[in-house]
Structures are given as C-alpha cells and as structure tokens.
Amino acid sequence: MPKVRTKDIIEKFNLELISGEEGINRPITTSDLSRPALEMAGYFEYYPAERVQLLGKTELTFIEKLSPKDKEFRLDQLCTDLTPAIIVTRDMEIPEGLIEASERESVPIMRSGQKTTRLASHLTNYLESKLAPTTAIHGVLVDIYGIGVLITGKSGVGKSETALELVKRGHRLVADDCVEIRQEDQDTLVGTSPELIEHLLEIRGLGIINVMTLFGAGAVRTHKRISLNIDLELWDKNKTYDRLGLEEDKLKIIDTDITKLTVPVRPGRNLAVIIEVAAMNFRLKRMGVNAAEQFSNRLADVIEDGEHEDI
C-alpha cells in the first residue's frame, strides 16, 4: 500500500482542489519536489514527472509571456499519468490550458495561499517523514533524561518490568513490546508505538496496564529519537563482560548505527538504576567526559611512573 497519496497532502495542507479530482488517489513515491523552470522553457527531456510539481510566481509569469501554441503544448506536457499533483502557490490564477490538460490526464491541480518556498519546505519535511524507511523491533523504548533508550532482550528477561520501574522513577514510556522505527535522516532513528498498544505495558502476572492512566500524561510520549540500545541477557558465568566501558558495540538499524551496551541480568541487580546511569553516562560521553578513558589514562600514568622508579 502506498504510504502517501495526493489526497493526504490536500487534507494535511488544506489545499484547494481545482481540477483533476479523479487522480487524488495517486501515490506519491518521493519526497523530492519539482519547480518546472526548464520545462516551462520547453526542455522536457529530463522532466521528473513522478514528483509533486510546484508552480509559483516565477513559473506562472513566464507562462503568460508564451505564445498560445507554446503555452498549450508545455502545459499539456506537465500533466502525465505519473504526475501525482501540481500545486499553484500564492493563490494565483491558474491558466485555463493547465486545467484542461489536468482534466484529460486526471492530474490533480491544487492551490495554496502560502509562498512557494515555505510550502516547499513544509511539504518536503512531511513527505520525508512519511516516506522514510521503516522497520519494527521487539523491545521497549523509554525516554531517560532526554536520551531515547531502546531496551532489547529475549522474551521474559524483564524488559517491561524494567520499563515500569523507570516510569515510576519519572521517565517516559514511548513503546512496549513492539517499537516502530523510521529512519528520518542518515543518522536519525525515530521510534514510535503501534497505535493499538500505545501507552500500554504488559506485565506478566498483572496483565495489560495503561501507563498514562496510572501515572499521568507526563509519563508517556508519542515518539523519540533513539540514541542508545541496552541489550538485556541472562547472566552467563562463562562469558566475560566489559568491566571498564572502553569497548563500544554498535547495533545497526536500517542504515544507522547506535551505541549498544550488553547488561547481564541476575537476581539482586537493579536494572532500572543501571539503565538510568547508562543513559546519564552516555550523555556525559557526548559532552566529552569519558570516565573509562580517564581511568585508563590515569592507570597508564601510574604504571609508567612505577617503571621509572624501578629504573
């Protein structure tokens, strides 16, 4: 199913539909927009027909200076069976030839009162958000001190229980069990909850609880950028875990790598506090304060001083 259709941008941006109503269900497949300047001059060899076309004051003023024959031909060429929409900005008058061509090819013509540049900016942001690559991951997403922490691990390891404790400590739940993730930029992952389970937590023995009802609107949020992954796993006595924090693993989601920390689970470990501190330490590292590196450097200095004394 197409993620965005022409009728979606009509509703979102309150556009006035002028003609070509039969084409409002056309899919929009790219967030790139086109302002057909060279096309108005007659060069259609590389016309990006699959994009939403924006006609502003410059394009429409140029069209009016063309001969009737050239005007008819070029406006007709604008309307193809691939073109999802043509938007005229600044509430300008729409050429009669464009309306006729749009009706023949069922290309929706819309009008907006916004300036061309401003509409292009808003429309691009909207389409990039809607058309961004998406995936879903089994886990819990919590906003901890402004850091989006994705908690993963095998079923039954305690992800939801840990999230409940974090919410009790004043942090905010984004999604439980299934996290829908979209890549909005090359290094930006945004997580949301499926609408069906939004604000809900499943706690074994209790069942489904509504976090917003229990803890208030301040305990939840609709979306959050993901910066850190905490992977919970049952303690394995034969496995060596990182005790200094110098090693840094990565988790790749779509095309973006995020920092991954593996936290072993065993009785007596307060996972909520550990994850809370991990989020704070991650913030410190981004600010340039790395406790593990500082300790390593101090240890190296002590070893070096000891060697000098032996000499």
- 158 marked as part of a ligand binding site: yes
- On whether 154 is known to bind a ligand per the annotation, the reply is yes
The annotation status of 288 as a binding-site residue, yes or no, is no
Residue (of 176, 112, 119) closest to 142 by Cα position: 176
Note whether 137 and 152 are within 8 A (CB). yes
Structure-token match 């009802």, residue found: 213
In 3-state terms, what secondary structure has residue 146? Answer: coil
Q: Measuring CA to CA, how many Å separate 229 from each of 131, 171, 279?
A: 24, 16, 10
**Residue 155, annotated as binding a ligand:** yes
Judge whether 191 and 226 are in contact, CB under 8 Å.
Answer: yes
How many Cα atoms within 13 Å fall on the side-chain side of residue 6? Answer: 25
| Residue 130 annotated as part of some ligand binding site | no
Rounded Cα gap, residues 175 and 152, in angstroms = 12
227 is in an annotated binding site: no
Task: Tell me if 97 is assigned to a ligand binding site.
Answer: no
Structure tokens at 66: 């063309």
Was 157 annotated as part of a binding site? yes
Q: What are the backbone angles phi and psi of residue 94, rounded to the nearest 5°?
A: -95, 130
Catalytic center residues: 138, 159, 177, 243
Alpha carbon distance 301, 240 (integer Å): 26
Which residues belong to the annotated binding site?
153-160, 202
Which residues belong to the annotated binding site for Mg(2+)?
160, 202
Which residues belong to the annotated binding site for ATP?
153-160
